[in-house]
Structure 1
Amino acid sequence: MSGRTAPSLPARWTGSARPLFVGRRAELAALEQLWTAVTAGARQVAFLGGEPGAGKSRLLAEFCGVLHARGATVLLGTCAAEFGPPYQPFVEPVEALLAGAADPAGPLSRLAGRGAADTPGPDTRRELYDAAVDAVRELAASGPVVLALEDVHWAGPAGLQLLAHLVERTAECPVLVLATHRTTAPERSPALTGTIAQLYRLDGVRRVDLAGLATEEIAEYLAAEARLSPHRARVTAALLRDRTGGNPFLLRELVREAAGRGNAPDTVSTTPLSVRDMVAARLTRLTDPERQTLELTAVVGEEADLTTVLAVSAWGPDTTLAALDTAVEFGLLESGGPAFRFPHSLARQAVLDLMPATRRAREHLRVAAVLEASGVPSDRRTQRLAHHYAQGAVLGHADQAVHHLTEAARAASRDLAHEDAARWFEQAAALCGDDAPRRAELLLAAAGATLLAGDATRARTLFDTVAGGSHGRIRLEAAIGFEAASWRPGLPGGRAVELLTGALREVPADPADPLYVRGLAGLGRALAFTGATEQAGVLGRRSLEMARALGDDGLLAATLQASLWNGLRPTDASAKLARATELSQLARRTGDLGHLGPAAFWRAAISYQRGEPQGVADAYEDELYMASATGEPYFEYVAGCIRYGRQFAAGDLAGAGATCAALLELGESFGTDDTEGSSAVQTFMVRRETGAVAAVRSLVSGQESPEAHWAPGLLALYTELGLDVPAGRVLRWLLEGRLDRYADSAQWPCVLAFLVEGALHLHDDAALQALRPRLAEYAGVNLVAGQFVAVFGSADRYLGALDSRLGRPAAEEQLAAALEMDTRMDASVHRAQSLVALAAHLRRVGAAPRRAGELVEEARDLAQGLGLRRVLAALGPAAAPMAVPSRRTPRPAGLTAREEEVLRLVGAGLLNREISARLVISENTVANHVRAILAKTGAGNRTQAAMYAAAHGLLEGSDRGQ
């Protein structure tokens, strides 16, 4: 985009009619600090919050005007309250970026709604978001860029996801993002609140909340705007501060209202109390043509183009133009080129609220008729038609509203704006009247889009509604959808079994019917989630045979996916891996990436179980790819779980903890399908390795009921806290015939590990004898529970420790095998644990002290470097220095282990994005490490840091530490 001309500022920001700007010195100073950081090359973000009328847009305009004068490229994006495009507020900035793009028809154009393809390709979402990031990066390469985003409380989930994607991937670009938003109900957006919380953890992201203007600032405004004397301005300012709370918009309108009545601003006692009152008072001073033209302008939209207003107006062009001029003179409209807009959305909403409902509906239909008769077809035109026909549906135009709402929803689906699609499908269904089949069809589409958006709870409600009110094939489709919305959050399959069983009775049992086969496959998976794994396996194999016989790749993929979900016992692993691999290949061949996520998870889980780290890494990349390409939050969650498992095993406990927090936050967005239980286990696993579990000791009585809690987790907590009597009580309770309730669950490996740990801690040989046959099933593989809820490393470590305690001869061989597995997996945490277990065994059997001492030294070195307090506690106090010399030298410049690792990759020429992918940490975290490295080593840039790495033997081929 080199050589492109920077866009000019909007006319409403530069016109002579813009309101006077006073005060906000502290806010401007804060923004200037951010700008200083931007000019130094660091991305900065400010969320400008406040109540409606607080002056957020005015502050944005003022500061952006200053930066534009300094040579910055300013891109403005806005959000509409009514039926805005899916990717607002980025539509307008993208339009500006496309003006200088080499390929204006590339993926970036889809964000602007320029003729999306009929179906999204496999890379659609990744291409959309990455194209936007690349365009901003390229533009910023030639100078600082300001993204000014207005009213992001009206942005949809797709736009907010794009905002987060861009902020996370521009950490080292001279980009300033300024986003205004309302902080008060009802506009306060939970989705935006979540996005701000997600981004607030990053460097360079802050909130700037605008309070009301102070009395002296109001006095400054009155002296300049109303030309009051300084004394009179101060007195009046105190009155107006009490009446308006310092709200700049209300203040301006009160002053305008007083001036319109020919009064001074200090006649505040007669001034209306609300914007609606003020607007109503001004409307009474308008003639019928003037008032109706103003009302029509409000109906047209947030920004009404003159062409549309003239075409729809019932009055002649001269009368309409004169009416618009009068509205501008009265301060009810602002003119900006060929378009008109209200001075604030509050004023527009007041005009709409004051219109009779039937007149408002008629005006919407007149606008729709003009739009339909003119203009080039586009997604944005379809969205506007849908809005206007929907608002006029009460006057007999529901069919047109349903048509355009459906088309708008389909377009949103093609661009992966699933939340918008679901909302518009539901809105269309509500307008279907007595057409029950059409309503059911639209509700099914809404449910499918809702599920893709990650709201499985709402999707189940919609699917259940359709299933309960339909028959035959529609009922079966709804039952299949309900089951699909149930397995993702891991819900019990009882209701899905009930719906599918009833629906399957209403269709012929025809093996050549794809819908019947899909229903059968779904029933198998639902049964698996009730614990009926044997019956589930039978139905899974049967549906697979039918699908293969039909030769339908899509059907085969669906049945393969359903057949995977019935536990992960080692004896099943080979067959499941074959299915998961075949499913991955099918997903890529057909372009249906909805199947790649489940396949990737099972490949990751089985690869981890079998000790194949490259398989885990490849599957993780596929999971990330699928989540990015489809926009499904569920698979973003699954990818995060795999990342957590890899970080934990590698010893990046800080990274694993941060991932836990992010997963908990993401899980909370799934509605009632929260993931709090899984997050609790993940967090416990991190905290016990870092010695942080002791902090909850005061909250644990030791009298907790195993029936009221997840008993295996309660046992693990008691064990970790050294509460031996309560631990023994829960261990016995579990062993008294209650283990089978856990044996078919995905958490069984975790249950086994916690029980064996508890029995070893308590020296309970009888319990260990009882557990050994169950544990022996996992000999030679790693233990992983659920969706990487917990990873324990090699089961042979547990078997070896158990056999060592029981005096069985194979203990040393098993512990050596565990150590080999941990090394192969590059699992530092588990390697340290295996070293401890092997050293303890050698001491127990009286082996040479030197060998045990070497193992202890290596374990201590690992534990100290990674902060493994649990391992250090197991090792006991450090002995006097041993004769065996250390094989490691101190890290230079006080670098941490992670900083040394990052420096090595910087020296190898990798960019932050590449380092992020290699180490499975965020790009922002990499940037933090790089800054710390530069500070500690005294390097001025990455090149000097690389030279430092080479000089200290940190690069490939060096002899350091050999």
Structure 2
Amino acid sequence: MQCRRCGRDNRTDARFCDACGAHLVACAVQQEAARTPVIGREAELGALAGLVGHMIDGHGAIAMLAGEPGIGKTHTAQALASRATHGVRVLWGRCNEQPGAPPYWPWLQIMRAWLAGRDEETLRAVPVSTVAPIAEIFPEIRQRIVDLAPLLPTPDPQQQRFRLFDAWTGFWKFAAATEPLLLIIDNLHWADASSLGFLEFLAPEVADHRILLLATYRDVELDRQHPLSATLGDLARYAHFHRFHLAGFDRRETEAMVALSGGKGIAPRLLDTIHSQTEGNPLFIAETIRLLIQEGTLEHGMARPPTEPHPAAPCVRIPEGVKQIIGRRLDHLSPPTNRVLERAALIGRIFELRLLRYLLDEALAIHFNDAIEEALRSRILEPGEQPGCFQFSHALIRETLYDEIPMLTRCALHLQVARTIEEFDSDDSGQHLSVLAHHYASALPVADAARATDVARCAAERATRLLAHEEAVRYYRLALQAASMTSPDDPVSRIRLLNALGESLTLLGDYLQARETFGQAMSLARVARQADEMMRAAMGFEMATWSPGLPGQSAAQLLREALAAQDGGNSPARAKLLSALARALIFSGDETQAAIVRDQALAIARRSGDKTALASTLASALSIRWQPERSGERLRDIGEALDLAQGTDNLLLALDVKAWELFETMELGDLSTWLMQLAQLERQADELRQPFMRYVAATSRATCALLQGRFKDAEHLIAQALQIGRRMPGLDAPGVYGMQMFTLRCEQGRLRELTPLVQAFVRAMPRAGLWRPGLALLYAEIGLLDEARCEFEALAADAFSAIRHDALRAASLAYLAQVCARLDDKPHADVLYALLLPYAGRNLLIGTTVGCFGAAASLLGLLATTQRNWQEAQRHFESALTMNLRQGAEPALARTRLRYASMRLARNADGDIDAARVLLEDAHAAAERMGMGALTREIDSAQRSIEPASSRAWPAGLSTRETEVLRLVSSGLGNREIAEQLFVSPNTIANHIRAILTKTNSANRTEAAAFAVRNGLTDV
């Protein structure tokens, strides 16, 4: 018999190769499998081959092979891999149906396969920025590249996971640059949720690189709750995603499959029965033929004339399901072989012979080699990829064996597997914790519940270190399940597990479950009088409340209870509790008490003498920033926190504080300084690989484009920010995207497009106060004034008390001010004016980096106009013109000019009509240039409302604005001085002067001034 590994010929009766020791029966099985042709999948393979060709040319793709068990998904993927040419590197990762696989298991297999074929020089060429984060969780990298410098740690696990995924994506981009990659993940429906998370992260990057990612999955196993369902929904958004559904064979293909399985020349009636009963499922067909051969109904390879009916055909009964067929096939194996295979099924689809031997008693051990060979010859087993490993030829075979083991026997065997693994692997790396946790949990109630709890907890902690938060949640739940079987007299371990589970849920963004879990922990800790765990539960509950922007009353109650349980003093822990309470109070609407608590937190942090604690408390207090009148205090705290963080070399905290400084600068309208600060933040975020700050920078760039009227750029930047943000669990990137797109469409006059979307959102989330002001504005903008009034009056109840003091307060007030003016509602204008007045001299921001309305003074002027307070309106509008002009806020400047013009037309005092005409001319030119269609139409309407009798024909066809510019030129002012007087930019003045020179046929400013004198324009 020839050895497949080394090619040597051996004796026919030899079990192992004399040269290399390979198992010869396994070699024979592999050789036979390699020769197996592909039936009925040429269309799919042709399409996949096309994707391979595009991938080689640099256009990557993601492809899915879906179908029922046994339909041939893996075989089709193997066929594609065998046909891949042109230097395509094929790497496999197989998901384990047993839930004990380590986090990122298929990706780790793929990476190991890539590393196995690389020399040290190639590894050294991989960029350090991609290797270092991976080395933190993947020991093989650290072993191969020993001189890697440690990364600067980040305190935020969400950012840490982003950093890992970003680095891993960069790694595969680098690998694809060296050679085209066909990455195959088999049985994706069994993938751990962390692996699916990375797949979602990698997906958008594949399109522009030489990567074809092919995965197989059982579609019959998916429901809406299955993690893969959400992943497939996410992938379907991409144009480079392709899905192929494998159907059953037709009758002709079934006949070919029957012949391939050894049933050549069977009677047509029997063939029809097999095709009908199996519905063309290839595995079902193959197993049926093998069963019929085993039972003597068919003779292997016997061909009969088609006209000669098989004598047994009429009485052949085919089992109804493939598992029944597999069961009957297993019945034909010897009893020792079945018992050996049962124990192998306990380990998993893939198993080591070394481990399996330890699970056998002395009687079975005698038959071990014969059992393995019998299973190989029967195609129940096949060789694994690693030496010393075998696997069941199909997962259904392993499932059938496993399901037939009695429950108590199964529990005892799981316990035996767990103990054997512990004996084999006594190192401290923790690599086997996942599988141990699975076996100990499956061994309950036979196993020691305390040991099962401890192993599951350790597995969860390791998953957390690996940033596999989905897996951490699963193992913490396993630990809690096991802990419920231990003594009820010791609740502390259960409390700690609940708090840890809540923290993992928070990292996943599952805030509802996290709050419920922290609530359970708090209840138990309260009874057990565990002050530290009460603090942990209360702070966790507040974080899971604040992150999605929920009201903070419940969190404040728990935090007060945790504070009462503390001994007092000046500990940093107490300062943290008080900081969290201050934030919860802000989100409860109790700003006064929040300020008092914040000051208490800072005082305790100062008395503690811990500079790091003080810097952290100052930074935490900055998040309580929604009162504009406290801007001076915040700027002082920012400076102190920055000095402390930099003085203690806490670069990450310093970066966080700089982000708050950025928000303050934007609100103050110092855009030139803001742009410098933003560039610095972007540079440091990249250097320190802090993804959240990269997201902050991306949304800030979009906000800047919106503020400056660069709407085409803004749309691109908004989408770019979404792509970065949606990769971080728990971050409301789609919500931020929605707000920025709402702002963009509002500026473009395209709000009507968003009406159904916003209405549906408000209906789905009736408490979504942040969208109700936007909905009211949307109705007002598209002329549905009755609907706008209904929304507005509902929000106006009790002096607009529904508008919380949070990140969206300024935006909500800005929307409502515009609606109020449109409805000409003077009583409510008085209330809104008082609410907006603290923002005078500042920009109105949406959140922190989501958007900017420009100077608040413009809306104060609008409300003062509604109040008929002309003097205050004029003062606010001129302030808004100055501020918006200074910061280049072109859309806000155009809107302010329209509002100011409308006010002067309404007042109609001396000079108001001419001043309004000039304001409208400038506003129209800017709105038309930026493509603000709705605003342009409003300006046109205002211009038409000016009576023709009040108009004046200026000489040489000069416009009113050009006449005013010419008069100021005649007085000797330069362009910048004229611009300051007229609230326009120097560039605009330069354009006006060019037009004046052309119309007056003047060669220079002196001749133009002379023209003005001759025509009496200097006295205008």
Query: CA–CA distance in 2 between the matches of 1:190 and 1:594?
Result: 37
Query: CA–CA distance in 2 between the matches of 1:156 and 1:640?
Result: 31
* Mapped pair 1:489 → 2:521: no
Residue 257 of structure 2: aligned partner: 221
Residue 809 of structure 2: aligned partner: 748
Query: CA–CA distance in 2 between the matches of 1:126 and 1:680?
Result: 22
Residue 297 of structure 2: aligned partner: 263
* Mapped pair 1:332 → 2:387: no
* Mapped pair 1:181 → 2:181: no
Shift of 1:655: 3.9
Query: CA–CA distance in 2 between the matches of 1:14 and 1:591?
Result: 59
* Mapped pair 1:399 → 2:450: yes
Residue 65 of structure 1: aligned partner: 82
Q: What does 1:870-909 correspond to in 2, within 5 Å?
A: 870-876=934-940
Of 558-567 and 407-416, the range deviating more from structure 2: 558-567
Q: What does 1:186-201 correspond to in 2, within 5 Å?
A: 186=222, 190-201=226-237
Match 1:306 to one of 330, 343, 353: 353
Shift of 1:534: 1.0
Q: Would you say the 8 A contact 1:78–1:151 is kept in 2? A: yes
Relative to 1, partners in 2 of residues 1:852 and 1:525: Cα closer, same or farther, differing over 3 Å?
A: closer
Q: Would you say the 8 A contact 1:53–1:247 is kept in 2? A: yes
Residue 870 of structure 2: aligned partner: 808
Relative to 1, partners in 2 of residues 1:708 and 1:45: Cα closer, same or farther, differing over 3 Å?
A: closer
* Mapped pair 1:16 → 2:66: no
Of 320-329 and 728-737, the range deviating more from structure 2: 728-737
* Mapped pair 1:548 → 2:613: no
Residue 69 of structure 2: aligned partner: 52
> Aligned partner of 2:209: which letter?
C
Shift of 1:522: 2.5
> Aligned partner of 1:418: which letter?
H
Relative to 1, partners in 2 of residues 1:142 and 1:681: Cα closer, same or farther, differing over 3 Å?
A: closer
Q: Would you say the 8 A contact 1:601–1:623 is kept in 2? A: no
Residue 651 of structure 1: aligned partner: 711
* Mapped pair 1:32 → 2:83: no
Of 309-318 and 110-119, the range deviating more from structure 2: 110-119
Query: CA–CA distance in 2 between the matches of 1:12 and 1:494?
Result: 70
Match 1:287 to one of 334, 337, 341: 334
SS at match of 2:577: helix
Provide Cα deviations, 1:107-162, integer angstroms capped at 9, x if missing partner: 43445455999998238545533443333233222331111122223333432232
SS at match of 2:215: strand
Match 1:563 to one of 581, 598, 621: 621
Query: CA–CA distance in 1 between the matches of 2:817 and 2:684?
Result: 32
Aligned length: 862
> Aligned partner of 2:553: which letter?
G
Of 450-459 and 572-581, the range deviating more from structure 2: 572-581
* Mapped pair 1:422 → 2:489: no
> Aligned partner of 2:914: which letter?
A
Query: CA–CA distance in 2 between the matches of 1:152 and 1:871?
Result: 52
Q: Would you say the 8 A contact 2:59–2:210 is kept in 1? A: yes
Residue 321 of structure 2: aligned partner: 274
Q: What does 1:684-699 correspond to in 2, within 5 Å?
A: 684-694=742-752
> Aligned partner of 1:395: which letter?
V
Q: What does 1:595-634 correspond to in 2, within 5 Å?
A: 602-611=660-669, 612=671, 613-614=674-675, 617=678, 621=682
> Aligned partner of 1:108: which letter?
I
SS at match of 2:914: coil
Residue 721 of structure 1: aligned partner: 782
> Aligned partner of 1:778: which letter?
Y
SS at match of 1:792: strand
Relative to 1, partners in 2 of residues 1:873 and 1:838: Cα closer, same or farther, differing over 3 Å?
A: same
* Mapped pair 1:512 → 2:570: yes
Match 1:108 to one of 129, 134, 142: 134
Residue 1013 of structure 2: aligned partner: none
Shift of 1:511: 1.7
Residue 888 of structure 1: aligned partner: none
Q: What does 1:803-842 correspond to in 2, within 5 Å?
A: 806=868, 808-809=870-871, 814-815=876-877, 818=880, 821-822=883-884, 829-834=891-896, 836-837=898-899
Provide Cα deviations, 1:795-827, integer angstroms capped at 9, x if missing partner: 133234445674735766755654565566565
Shift of 1:294: 0.5
* Mapped pair 1:371 → 2:397: no
Provide Cα deviations, 1:439-468, integer angstroms capped at 9, x if missing partner: 222222222222122222222122111111
SS at match of 2:445: helix
Query: CA–CA distance in 2 between the matches of 1:588 and 1:87?
Result: 37
Match 1:80 to one of 96, 109, 113: 96
> How big is the alpha-carbon RMSD for the aligned residues of Structure 1 and Structure 2?
4.4
Shift of 1:830: 3.6
* Mapped pair 1:156 → 2:192: yes
Shift of 1:674: 8.6
Q: Would you say the 8 A contact 2:100–2:436 is kept in 1? A: no
What percent identity do the matched residue pairs reach? 27
SS at match of 2:123: coil
SS at match of 1:496: helix
Relative to 1, partners in 2 of residues 1:214 and 1:554: Cα closer, same or farther, differing over 3 Å?
A: farther
Could you tell me which runs of 5 or more consecutive residues in structure 1 were left unpaired when the two chains were aligned.
1-9, 885-962
Provide Cα deviations, 1:11-57, integer angstroms capped at 9, x if missing partner: 99964236652112222222122122212212211122223333221
Q: What does 1:418-497 correspond to in 2, within 5 Å?
A: 418-432=469-483, 433-434=486-487, 435-470=490-525, 471-473=529-531, 474-497=533-556
Relative to 1, partners in 2 of residues 1:267 and 1:699: Cα closer, same or farther, differing over 3 Å?
A: same
Provide Cα deviations, 1:461-482, integer angstroms capped at 9, x if missing partner: 2211111112231223222221
Residue 286 of structure 2: aligned partner: 252
Of 771-780 and 542-551, the range deviating more from structure 2: 771-780
Relative to 1, partners in 2 of residues 1:352 and 1:222: Cα closer, same or farther, differing over 3 Å?
A: same
Query: CA–CA distance in 2 between the matches of 1:418 and 1:98?
Result: 26
Query: CA–CA distance in 1 between the matches of 2:375 and 2:200?
Result: 39
Query: CA–CA distance in 2 between the matches of 1:314 and 1:594?
Result: 58
Q: Would you say the 8 A contact 2:699–2:717 is kept in 1? A: no
> Aligned partner of 1:742: which letter?
I
Shift of 1:642: 5.5
Of 203-212 and 296-305, the range deviating more from structure 2: 203-212
Q: Which has the higher contact order (CA 8 A, sep 6+)?
A: 1
Query: CA–CA distance in 2 between the matches of 1:89 and 1:762?
Result: 60
Of 830-839 and 305-314, the range deviating more from structure 2: 830-839
Relative to 1, partners in 2 of residues 1:369 and 1:766: Cα closer, same or farther, differing over 3 Å?
A: closer
SS at match of 2:516: helix
Query: CA–CA distance in 2 between the matches of 1:202 and 1:819?
Result: 44
SS at match of 1:48: strand
Could you tell me which runs of 5 or more consecutive residues in structure 2 were left unpaired when the two chains were aligned.
1-25, 143-148, 300-312, 907-911, 945-955, 960-1020
* Mapped pair 1:855 → 2:922: yes
* Mapped pair 1:536 → 2:597: no
> Aligned partner of 1:350: which letter?
T
Provide Cα deviations, 1:171-212, integer angstroms capped at 9, x if missing partner: 422111112223233577643333333333334222223233
Residue 348 of structure 1: aligned partner: 398
Q: Would you say the 8 A contact 2:185–2:216 is kept in 1? A: yes
> Aligned partner of 1:121: which letter?
P
Shift of 1:723: 2.7
SS at match of 1:783: strand
Residue 370 of structure 2: aligned partner: 322
Relative to 1, partners in 2 of residues 1:698 and 1:366: Cα closer, same or farther, differing over 3 Å?
A: closer
Residue 945 of structure 1: aligned partner: none
> Aligned partner of 2:38: which letter?
F
Q: TM-score, normalised by structure 1?
A: 0.79
Shift of 1:232: 4.8
Residue 1015 of structure 2: aligned partner: none
Relative to 1, partners in 2 of residues 1:558 and 1:182: Cα closer, same or farther, differing over 3 Å?
A: farther
Q: Would you say the 8 A contact 1:691–1:869 is kept in 2? A: yes
Relative to 1, partners in 2 of residues 1:133 and 1:659: Cα closer, same or farther, differing over 3 Å?
A: closer
Relative to 1, partners in 2 of residues 1:261 and 1:757: Cα closer, same or farther, differing over 3 Å?
A: same
